[in-house]
Chain A
Amino acid sequence: MSREMVDVQLEPSVLDPNVPLLKVRDLDVQFATGTGVVRAVRGANLTLYPGQSLAIVGESGSGKSTTAHAIINLLPGTGKVTGGSIEFEGNELVGASEKTFVGIRGSQIGLVPQDPMTNLNPVWSIGYQVRETLLANGFTGSRREANARVAELLAEAGLPDAARRAKQFPHEFSGGMRQRALIAIGLAARPKLLIADEPTSALDVTVQRTILDHLETLTAELGTAVLFITHDLGLAAERASQLVVMYRGQVVESGPALKILQDPQHPYTQRLVAAAPSLASRRIQSAKERGQRPEELKAVTGGDGVDRSRGELLRVEHLTKEFEIRGAAKGSNTFKAVDDVSFTVTRGTTMALVGESGSGKSTVANIMLNLLQPTEGTIYFEGQNLHGLGRKAEFAFRRRVQPIFQNPYGSLDPMYSIFRTLEEPLRVHHIGNSKTREARVRELLEMVAMPASTMRRFPNELSGGQRQRVAVARALALSPEVIVCDEAVSALDVLVQAQILTLLNDLQAELGLTYLFITHDLAVVRQIADEVCVMQAGRIVESATTDEVFDNPRQEYTRELLAAIPGASLDVFGSGPAA
């Protein structure tokens, strides 16, 4: 590889591979809050050698990002390192001066931040922002040389036509391209360590995979050590040789990645490995396996296939939705978000619509909920055409189809107590009196395994998973037949996600619910869905039962999606990747 030669000449590596590059010992980090001191990190240890890759895995609030930020002294707000040591190349960083950190950041330790949408300054060109990093880290060449170097770095990060692209501004870049630019910035000064904080969690899976592949190749060539921060165990194990699992501020398990996956020792890691959808989907269908016991569940979900005799509940025919593009000339510019989509959903089963952002899956969901009118096409609900329902019939229809949304923080009215939230549907549809309504609210909370005392609380007191349970309870309030889950578990931590999926599955068995499950996450599909429609750019490209799609994908795009599931290529349990 010629580029490797050039880079090695640029900065010959003098690091001894047997001396730790980064050594964190008994690290304590505290945050002062209004209600007292929060110990965000407690006694964390980790060791990283030159050129190695290590991933810190944990759910939100586990202290994984805090640990990484403590290393480069970028703790937010009132955060402070209160104990332990951080040694970088043998130099103690705890208590070092701000000047030391300015010298280290960028040139010794690079950072690829989490959100590509907000981490580039929108008023400066991409090239300017890369050049800024170069100049801040002692680049001494002329302006022309700097520009040439910027183009080189961007090209290296995988941006095509880099010299021209460098003149563009962040809003002209897609999410993936921005993340490449951020990688170029992170690696601009050839740091010995790159901290990648959830580098791709905001991106589509296929984009995520190409970027991580590229990052892996690049850092291997440059001999850069990488510290990944991620919530995704599959991704961590696939991209890093060493894992550090954090839970509530503590390191509960650490060691070689494969060893941890195959033989997790700490109960938390065991839970995590069992719940990780990307890993689990390789071998179990958790939802159904649990359901093997009661006979009726098998009858409801129709076992592995779909029992057509239960009758179709929903039929969608030639659905098309066009949006007018704002500011475009009249009549000329419409955007087809959904293009000739047809499918049927059998009663009591789960149909998953899978696709990346912009595939039109959420538009389909909104049309199903009767929140949007289709441009063309018809939806039959129990044989009844949904289009052109009268006001009264539409109101009645609302009772039968209910949504669950993605964002647990946005889906509950912050001004409503949980009781009011759950009572609202009953009140709107004039069901029962105040006494029976309260009984129903209690019953609903019980269904989603929440204590009845929750009803006096407000959404801001509940965690994300708890709010999502309330959202499920609200959707169930009117005893609907169909629930449209629009990315209903995508914003949740893995363990919570597994819980909610189990809950949804149990409720399906109990109440005979039909789910339309909209998601970008194929791994989740395997756990919950009976049938799958894969959408790309508004069209359904593949439609089959879940097993067929996973074991025998017919379309190239589906294969790509499957291969992009983080951890899909891992051979943890002795079953190779399907694609």
Chain B
Amino acid sequence: MPEPTNPLARPEQDHFFASLDSAVLGDVDVVDESAAPTSLWQDAWRELRHRVLFWASAAIILLVIVVAVAPQLFTSVDPQYCLLSDSLGAPGPGHPFGFDKLGCDVYARVIYGARASVAVGVLTTLIVTLLGATVGAVAGAYGGWFDSLLSRVTDIFFAIPLVLAAVTVMSIFRSSRTILTVVLVLGVFGWPQIARITRGAVMSVKNAEFVTAAKALGVSKPATIVKHLIPNALAPIIVTATVSLGTFIVAEATLSFLGIGLPPNVVSWGHDISQAQRQLRTMPSLIFYPSGALALTVLGFIMMGDAVRDALDPKARKR
């Protein structure tokens, strides 16, 4: 092989070395004991604290939850107490939003409607997350025919539009509809998305060396799923769950709007929107209040999901 054509040093290529003062030699790989320890969640929290999006959505969600838990704090009027003589009455003292066709106080109905929405949203998300995460984690961790089967089932459920399926199934419960039936029906058809996300997240960590190390320690497969795989998949699950909480609230409102969601004796925004729709031309403000409340609530949860996603994004984290 030919030697490089040049001999050794030419001008400005003499042996140079920096003085020790200008290039201070550190110890190889010392642990910095001064910095505070941080976990993924602490890092995420630090990130979230500086975000307007997070605080705005947190305020909305907090408000909605307080309203749902203690509506009495916001109004002393009974939303079910309606006088036909007040029908379509204009706003007045104590009744800031006026009255609907049946003479019920709109403000009170908007306040009391939060409970049904939040209950359906939270309960459905709980069911969906538990079901979806379990199915997804098992499918992702075990693989093989089990994964194929679960994935096909997931695909089938995924292919059915949530509301269409719920409409069909809800019509079976024509006479005995409660919050619980709505939650169950939405839950049964809503889990595939979380299952998919969990499966993907689990599969991306299941070949990591720390999982193999756990196996070599003698940790059983189910324990590995619970202790290592799911905690590492938690971030995307939380993000998806937060966002889908909003969509479940919308789904409930849609069902109630169609008259097959919550029974009429439960105050709900969807039901009120459907009622107000009939007065769209005579009194358009009626539809504005329940749908505004619905939009604000959903926006709150979706914005929260976005903020959390940004904070938990592994690419944004220091390595």
| Residues of A near any B CB (own CB < 8 A) | 17-18, 20, 23, 45, 47, 49, 51-53, 213, 216-217, 220-221, 223, 241-242, 247-248, 250-256, 259-260, 263, 265-269, 271, 369-371, 394-395, 398-399, 401-403, 405-407, 409-415, 417, 424-425, 428-429, 450-451, 453-454, 456-458, 460-463, 465-466, 471, 474, 478, 495-496, 499
A478 to B213, CA, bound (A): 13
Chain B nearest CB from A241 CB (Å) reads: 5
**Which of A216, A221, A253, A465 is B17 in contact with, Cβ under 8 Å?**
A253
Asked whether, in the complex, the Cβ of A253 is within 8 Å of the Cβ of B218, the reply is no
B212, B218, B227, B231: most-surrounded residue (chain A CB, <10 A): B218
Cα A465 to Cα B213 in complex, Å, equals: 18
Minimal beta-carbon separation of B33 from chain A (angstroms)? 5
**Interface bits B217-258 vs A (CB < 8 Å: 1, else 0):** 111000000011001101000000000000000000000000
Q: Is B40 an interface residue (CB 8 A)?
A: yes
Q: Give the residue of B6, B9, B33 whose beta carbon is less than 8 angstroms from that of A17.
A: B6
B317 and A460 contact, CB distance less than 8 A: yes
> A255 touching B16 by the CB < 8 A rule?
yes
Do residues B9 and A403 form an inter-chain contact, with CB atoms below 8 A? Answer: no
| B31→A411 contact, CB < 8 A | no
List 23 contacting pairs A-B, 8 Å CB cutoff, sorted by A. A52-B4, A53-B4, A217-B1, A248-B23, A250-B23, A252-B17, A255-B17, A256-B8, A260-B15, A266-B17, A266-B23, A268-B23, A413-B214, A413-B231, A415-B231, A417-B39, A424-B219, A429-B218, A460-B40, A460-B319, A461-B38, A496-B29, A499-B29
How many pairs of A and B residues are in contact by the CB < 8 Å rule? 173
**Nearest chain-B residue to A402 (Cβ)?**
B216
The 8 closest A-B pairs by CB, nearest first: A255-B15, A398-B218, A411-B209, A265-B17, A405-B209, A465-B29, A253-B17, A410-B209
CA gap between A395 and B20 in the complex, in Å: 54
Assess whether B218 is in contact with A395, with CB atoms less than 8 Å apart: yes
> Is B215's CB within 8 Å of the partner chain A?
yes
| Cα–Cα distance between A450 and B32 once the two chains are bound (Å) | 11
The size bracket of the interface on B is 35 or more
Given contacts A266-B17, A415-B40, contact A460 B23 (CB under 8 A): no
B210 and A413 contact, CB distance less than 8 A: yes
A474 touches B213 (CB 8 A): yes
Expressed in whole angstroms, the Cα–Cα distance for A405 and B39 within the complex equals: 23
Q: Chain B interface mostly helix, strand, loop or mixed?
A: loop
Answer yes or no: B73 CB below 8 A from chain A CBs: no
B210 & A412 in contact (Cβ 8 Å cutoff):
yes
Residues of B with C-beta under 8 A to A407: 209
Any chain A CB within 8 A of the CB of B18? yes
B216 engages A268 (CB within 8 Å): no
Q: A417 near B218 (CB under 8 angstroms)?
A: no
Residues of chain A contacted by B40 (CB below 8 angstroms): 414-415, 458, 460
| Minimum distance in angstroms from B38 CB to a CB of chain A | 6
